[in-house]
Each structure stands twice: as structure tokens, then as C-alpha cells.
Amino acid sequence: MYRSLLITLLACSGIAAAQGDPVKAFDPAAAALRKPGTTVRVELIGDSTQTDNAGYGRGFCANLTAKVDCVNMAKGGASTRSFRAQGLWDRSLQTKPDYMLIQFGHNDAVISGATGDRALANAADYEKNLRQYVTEARAAGIKPVLITPLTRQYFEPDGKIHSDQTEHSQTMRRVAAEMKVPLIELQNESIAYLEKTGEEAGHKYEITKKDSSGATIYDKTHLNWAGSYVFGRMVAVGLGNAVPELKKYVKPTAAQLPPEGEKAMRILERGPTTIVLVGDSTVATGGGWGPGFCEAFLHNVNCIDDALNGRSSKSFIDEGAWKRALSDKGDYYLIQFGHNDQKMQPELHTDADTTFAENLHRYIADGRAIGKVVLQVDDRPAP
């Protein structure tokens, strides 16, 4: 279980789950502010295959120049209907981008027995929703761009991909033609690329998941770091071709993976890595979850349990244990405190809203300062 969890995290972004983060408190005024030095704002609107954590979002943004304020509003599990019903469309309009790149389809198929936001009556609803997005974006002074859905890797014995997105792609093309909207042809291009690459080689772009029997299988839909940069480049080049005035904002050569992306891919390819656990007795050897966690990993993972009984986020720092943990030079630090922070002894106690939070911020900052990834394990009881 633990290995599956960590691989999912690494495959996506190092810290977030495949379906994207929950919607956070939204401030329209702050959302409309642009990064200093940028001259154009481009925004992604769609489902998980566009997100930073499981799609081509981060690879797309990496292939644009620093003059572009690249905003990702895509949401895992979204359809043309749920994106509006959950308030995400209204929020996207309030960010005031110059261009919106809209891609839906994976979650718009009629789902047997589905109800609520994700239950679409028929294909006509998909078309109607797309047209409404285009109309409303234009009314807000935003230029829409449509993208045919990224293909799933549904290879058949003939070596060809038999896409389940054909109907939605055809609808997207028709809407783009009739409403005179620029179109990025990602469906056909992604199929052609993967068929040329081949099924086995194509797996290196996917994340993995567990099937109903607990076996690890390829996801066939969502992307790891390498996949994000391959298909993100494809979309960026497609944008420059579809909207000529934006071509100058597309980097002339493909962006390379950043260090954290290279690290994630090395681990996915079973390269050596070190994970360090930091916390109290509920993590430590002799009674915590740490030993079971470490035991689940393959030989390429060096898992070090530096947690100590009876420590709080304060005493772990004060006693020098955090300094020693940093000296282990882990690639990833999993940190859990809370059980002893609520105790009233001065050497242990922290206030949940002030000193406890400050200590957690310090752990994160210290880890990042030496180029490491810090994962905070929530110690609060489930609601």
C-alpha cells in the first residue's frame, strides 16, 4: 500500500494525488493579478489530463516563455457540466486571462447509473456546453481555444490505439469550425505519436495504479513528469500554430525536465533514493508505522526512520534531532507531529495556530533549502 501511494505521488508531482487538489478559498481580486513582467495570460480549462499533477499542464507551461502568465484551472474528474456546476467556470472567468485553452471529453461520456453533475443525457449536451463556454468567454473579452482530448493509451493487438474519445473529438472539431475558434488537434497528434512510439515505450509516460486484485497496472490516461513534458510541448507548439500571435511565446526548443522531475523519473525507473521519516512515537521504531512503511519498499529505496518517542515539533528541533535528520540527505522527508505538541510541558507544547504552524513551515523551508521534497503527514484524527 505504501509503495503504491508513494509511486503515485512521485509520478504526478511529488506531493499531490492524481485527481488534483481540492478547490481552495478563492479571492477574485488576487486571482486577477498577473505575474510581474508578463505580457499575456494563458489559462487551461479542463479535466485531469490538463492538470499539473496528472496531465500535461506543467509541461505546457514550461514550454512557454517567461512573458506568459500560465494559469491552470483544470480539475481532476471534471466534465463540461461539473466544471460549471462546481463554480470553476465562474472562477476561471474572474482570473481574466487573455486566452482560454478548453479541453473536455474524458468525463463527458454517459456513465451508466451516474447522477448529478457528471451524468450527461446525451452527446448534444457536450456540444451545447462547449458552445456556451465559447460564447461566455468571448463576452468576457477572452479568446477561447479548443483542444481535442488527449488520447488514452488503449492499444489493441494490431498495434493501433482505438480511442474512446472519437465522438467527443469530432464534436470539438465541429464546434471550432462553426464558431470560428482556433483548434489544437491533440487527439490525432497524441495517437500518431504513441503509435509511432509503441505501447511498451509509451508506458514510460504513464502513472501506475492498483487494479481490483491489488496488482500494479499502467493507468493509460494520466501522465507522469516525462509524459507531461512530451504532450505539454505538443500542446504549446499546437497553440503557436493555431494562434499565430502567440507563436513568439512558445520556446523554440522543448523544455527539459527540472531537477524534481528528473528525480521523480529516476525513482519511477527504480533508481536509488532515500526517504527519511521524522516524527514522534507513532512513526518511530518499536511502535509506530515507520517500520512497516520502510519494509514495503524495494531495495533501491533507502528508508531511514529518524522519528523519536515523546518528541514534539518543538523538541525535535531543540534537541538537534532535525539537524541530524537533515544530515541523512534524504530525497524525501515525511514529517508527522501533533501527539506531543498538545502537552503542556514547556519543552513540548506548541499552539496549533501559531508555534506549531511555524515549526512545520520551518521543516518545509529547511528541507527545500537543501533541495529536498517535504511531505507533511496529517496527524489530526479523521472527522
Phi, psi torsion values for 43, nearest 5 degrees:
-130, 140
pLDDT in tens, 182-232: 999 999 999 999 999 999 999 999 988 878 887 888 999 999 999 999 999
Angle at 19 between CA 16 and CA 22, to 5 degrees: 70
Candidate from 36-50, 88-102, 121-135, 228-242 with smallest mean pLDDT: 121-135
Could you give the 3-state DSSP secondary structure of residue 183? strand
Question: What domains sit in the chain, N to C, each tagged with a CATH number?
Answer: 2-258 (3.40.50.1110), 270-376 (3.40.50.1110)
Cα four-point dihedral sign 268, 270, 274, 278? positive
Q: Is the pTM of this model over 0.75?
A: yes
pLDDT in tens, 164-188: 999 999 999 999 999 999 999 999 9
| Rg for the chain, CA atoms, rounded | 23
Phi, psi torsion values for 27, nearest 5 degrees:
-115, 105
Is the distance from CB of 333 to CB of 368 less than 8 angstroms? no
Q: Retrieve residue 178's grid coordinates.
A: 462553426
Could you give the 3-state DSSP secondary structure of residue 146? strand
CA distance linking residue 1 with residue 344, whole number of Å: 36
CA distance linking residue 117 with residue 222, whole number of Å: 22
User: Looking at residues 59-66, what average pLDDT do you find?
Assistant: 98
CA distance linking residue 167 with residue 91, whole number of Å: 28
381 by Cβ neighbours in 10 Å (0-12 / 13-18 / 19+) ranks as exposed
Angle at 57 between CA 264 and CA 145, to 5 degrees: 165
Q: Retrieve residue 109's grid coordinates.
A: 461520456
- pLDDT of residue 29 exceeding 50, the answer is yes
